[in-house]
Structure formats: structure tokens, C-alpha cells
Amino acid sequence: MNDSEKTKKQLIAELQKLRLELAEYKTARSDLQRSETALKESESKYRKLFDHAGDAILLSDKLQFLDCNNQALRMFRCSKEQLKPVIAYGNTFSPPVQPDGSDSKQKAVTAIEAAFNGEPQNLEWRYRRYDGTLFDAEVTLTRIIIEDKKLLLSIIRDVTKRKFAEQEVRKSRKLFQDLVENSPSGIFIFQHDRLVYVNPELERLLGAPVPPTFRLTTYEGIYPDDTEKVKELHQRIRSGDMKPYEMILRFYPFGKTGSKPDLKVVYCRTCLIEYEDRNAVLLNMIDITRARELEQLLQARDKMTSLGRIAAGIAHEIRNPLSGININLSSLAKIVRSTNHSDEALEIIDELQQSSRKIEDVIKRVMDFSRPSEPHFKPADINQPVREAVKLTGVTIRKNNIRIETDLSDDMALCSIDHRLIEQVIVNLINNASGAIRESGGDGIIRITTVSIDGHVLVHVDDTGPGVPKEVREKVFYPFFTTRTDGAGIGLSISNRIITDHGGSLIVEDGPLGGARFTIELPLPKGDRT
């Protein structure tokens, strides 16, 4: 093969090679064009995402502000040119706008330095806009690397409205909590029979903190007659029937079961509520114990009024024949005086007349009670009505094997009293003491003491009976309240009213003889006080 043919073959080979390289170049160029197109599309897409993001996005390095999206301009209310100046702190840069507050600058320096070192930061800052207004923001600072260059990416979310809403929710919760915590109603909240909330008023009603084990089904402290009401309430809860339900409930505070004076009466109302995103039962309790007592007092007053009318009628019926007896006794006394040996008969007639007068006095008092009037006060020695009361009750007391002892002070100052009414009070206290001693099942002693001290006259009536329990001492003066099986419950009420009309007080306490001590305290005239 000559040189010409070799050269030709080489040229053909080179040409084929060039063709292959040209094809590869065209393919590569096509791929590059496609890549460039894809890159441009991707850049356009991410640029749109960048520009239209709901959060402000800022890009910077350690030298200058580089870029931001449209939301950043809207958020800070300025142009991109106004955002370009970057405020430097040490070797790092703060966000383009300073966080507000005395220690915010140092926090910014620390957070940005940590972010540049590869530790992403999630912070809450308050920013000042270029128009001077403030807004709260959640900030994410993170380092990104573009073409081997470290950059700081700041994502800022305006949470001012959310913060305001959260603040309003906190205020609302605080207001609700204050209302519930200071409510005069006791409040239970139950979920699936389990107690999840109790306010202070309910614990006051119950007398102690509610144990975590408390359940409606235990019926702890519920008055026996009212357990069916609680069972019905529980059944309503279990069946899902939570229409508003009302009831009057009686119960004993914790640790007071069976103690009648501590029995609480409450008005209850239940309804279905949502508590911590779950259905719950709200139970309100209002203490109406005192209201019930006042209602009973009003009823007792009505009874007393009726009793007064009845007593007045009875007294009137007795008084007419009694007047006839007194007239006949007077006539009989005249006849006896005209005969011999009349001394013994006159003595009997005199005793009958005294008893008749006492009966008439009692009738007058009953009629006075039915027509309440002001007492007739006169200066008197308190010992006088005491002695007459002892004399009047002496025979009956001795028949019951009860001894009356008296220790009456000789130097008692005169006090302003209605003699007959004070005698009535002393008689009632003696009879009460006698009844208490009899019910205790034995003989006993009643001791009456008088003393003048500190501008007051005191009369103590002590007995050896069982005494009056502390929990009922305030109630023994209520009309129709009695601890005796045969008592009517009006004697002490009348006595208390009489002493109150005298400007004094009647109290009961433990006595030195082991039983009760009733003390009458009456004021002395100002000139006689020492």
C-alpha cells in the first residue's frame, strides 16, 4: 500500500472519529441544554417558592446581606435597599433588624454564632419594624452551604396575632379559674365516674380535701334517705342522659357521719360539659343549710303564733270558772270567820286562794305570751324571784329525789326586772334541770347561785345531769328544738326571749357539777356598776 492510500485511510478514520466526537458533543450539548433548562425551571420554581413563602426568608453571609423574599419586605415594611445594611456585633452579624429588649442583642450574637457553627437555632424574638412598630416572631437560624460558601438562612414567622390570641386565652382561663376558685358554689367535675376537679368551696362544704379515691358510687357521708337520689344521678351519667338534673341533697362532712348538727343541706345541679376536650359532668352545689334553718324558724314562728292563739283560748276558758272559784272562796272565808274554830279552815282557804292566784298568774302569762308586750321593769333584788321559783317547784322536785341547793349573795345590787317573768325563767330552768337528771336515771342536785360582778347580775343554774352537747348549744334556744323525749321545745325559747327583752343574755355551758350550767346575765343600772 502506498503512502497515498495510507493517508486516505487515516483521514477517513480521523473523520469518523470526529463524527463520533461531534455526535457525543451534540448529545452532551443537548443534555446540558436540558440540564440548564431543568435548572432554570427548578430555579424559577424555588424562586417562586422563595418569593411567595408565607414566612420572611433572609440570606446573608458574614460580610453582607445577600437577599430576601417579598414576605420579608412586607413583614418589615421596608425596601430591599433598606434591609441591606447589616448591624455587626463582634465577628458575627445580627438579623437585619434588631430584636427589641435590653438583652436581645447578646442573644442574637450568641444564636447567630451558634448557627454559623452548624447548630440550628429556634428562637422567639420581638422585632422592631422600620416604622417603629413591634411584632413577635419565631425565628429559625440555620447554616447552608452554596458552592462551598457558608451562608446564614433566617426564617422569620410573624406570630403576633397568635401570641395575642394565646394571651387572650390565658386571660380567659385566668378569669374562668378566678371565678371558679372563688365561686360560692361547690363545684365537682367527673369524667367516667372519676373525680378530676374540685374547687375550694366544695372542700369547705365537705370539711376536708376530697380523696383521689372518691367515687359517686361509694355514697360516703350521704344521708341514708338521699342515697336513691345519688343512685339515680349515677344511672343518668352511665346511660348518657345528661339533661340538666336538680336535687336537694343531705350529707355529712368527712369524719362527721351520724352527727346531726353537722348535717349539710345542698342544692345540686348537674349538666354535661366539655373538659380538656372530653365530655365531663359538672356538678354544682350551693349550701342551703342556713336557708333551711331559717325556713324552719319561720315555720316555727307560725306554729308559735298558732300556739299563742290556742293558749289564749284555753286560758280564757280556764279563767272564767277560776274567777267563780275565787268568788266562792271569798264568800266561804266570810262565812267561816263568823263561826267558832275557824283558824284551821281559814288557813286552808288561804292556801287555796294562793294556789288559785298562782294559776291565774300562769294564765295571765300565757295570755301575755299570745299577745307579746313590753315587760314592766322595776328595781328589785334578783334573789326574790329566785326564792319564789324554788318554793314553787320545791314539792315536785323533792318527789323526784332531787335536792335543790341555793347560794344567794346577800349584797346583790338592785336590777331593773319584771319580777314575774324572771320567776318564770327560773322555774323553767329548774324544770329543765330536773328533767335532765331524771332522764340520766338517778338522784341529783340542782344548785342555784347568784352573784353581782362587773356591772352585771349573774344567776347560775347548775345540775348533775348529762349536760348539753357543744354541737347543739346554739340550737337549744330555737323554738321546738329539744333533746328530751318528752320535751316540747318552747320553754327555753320563751326564756331566752324574756332575758333578751331585759337586755341580758342566757347561755349554756359545762357546769361544775358535771352537768349543764345555764347562766342568766342581766345588766345593772349605770349608777350601780362598779
> What pLDDT sits at residue 447?
94
DSSP state of 216: G
Q: What is the mean pLDDT of residues 380-398?
A: 85
Task: For domain 53-163, give the fold.
Answer: Beta-Lactamase (3.30.450)
How far apart, in whole angstroms, are the C-alpha atoms of residue 186 and residue 195? 14
Q: List phi, psi (to 5°) of 509.
A: -155, 180
SS3 call for 201: helix
Q: What architecture (CATH level 2) is domain 183-287?
A: 2-Layer Sandwich (3.30)
Does residue 348 surpass a pLDDT of 80? no
- Tell me the pLDDT tens digit for each residue of 298-324: 666 666 665 665 666 666 666 666 666
DSSP annotation of 212 reads: T
Q: Give the model's pLDDT for residue 238.
A: 74
Tell the burial category of 241 from Cβ atoms under 10 Å away from its Cβ (0-12, 13-18, 19+): exposed
SS3 string, 138-192, reads: EEEEEEEEECCEEEEEEEEEECHHHHHHHHHHHHHHHHHHHHHHCCCCEEEEEEC
Place of cell 336515771: 441
Name the 3-class secondary structure at 421: helix
Mean pLDDT, residues 340-366: 65
432-477 residue pLDDT tens: 888 888 877 767 899 999 998 888 899 999 998 888 888 777 777 7
Please tell me the distance from the alpha carbon of residue 474 to that of residue 421, in angstroms, as a whole number.
Answer: 22
Q: Right CATH number for 378-528 from 3.30.565.10, 3.40.50.1220, 3.40.50.2020, 1.10.260.40?
A: 3.30.565.10
- Using a 10 angstrom Cβ sphere, with 0-12 exposed, 13-18 middle and 19 or more buried, the burial of residue 281 is buried
Mean pLDDT of 403-421: 89
pLDDT of the residue at 243: 75
> In this structure, which long-range contacts are made by residues 217-221, counting pairs with CB atoms below 8 Å and at least 24 apart in sequence?
217/193, 220/254, 221/251, 221/252, 221/253, 221/254, 221/256, 221/257
State how far the Cα of 223 lies from the Cα of 220, in Å rounded to an integer.
9
Instruction: Over range 97-111, report the average pLDDT.
Output: 61
Lowest-confidence range among 9-23, 30-44, 240-254, 387-401? 30-44
Q: Mean pLDDT: which of 56-60, 89-93, 317-321 is highest?
A: 56-60
Angle of CA points 113, 118, 122, to nearest 5°: 70
Average pLDDT, the chain: 76
Q: Quick one: what percent of the chain has pLDDT higher than 90? A: 8
> Strands 378-380 and 415-417, how do they pair?
antiparallel
Q: How far apart are CA 154 and CA 142, in angstroms?
A: 7
- Averaged pLDDT for residues 374-401: 83
Write down how long the chain is.
530
Segment 330-356 shows an average pLDDT of 68
For residue 330, which amino acid is it?
A: S
Distance from the Cα of residue 339 to its chain's centroid? 83
Average pLDDT of 31-45? Answer: 61
Angle between helix axes 491-501 and 419-439 (nearest 10 degrees) is 150
Summarize pLDDT for 147-188 with one digit per residue, the tens. Answer: 788 888 888 899 989 888 888 888 887 887 888 888 888 888
Give the pLDDT confidence score for residue 97 in this predicted structure.
47
pLDDT exceeds 60 at position 529:
no
pLDDT band at 381 (very low <50, low <70, confident <90, very high): very high
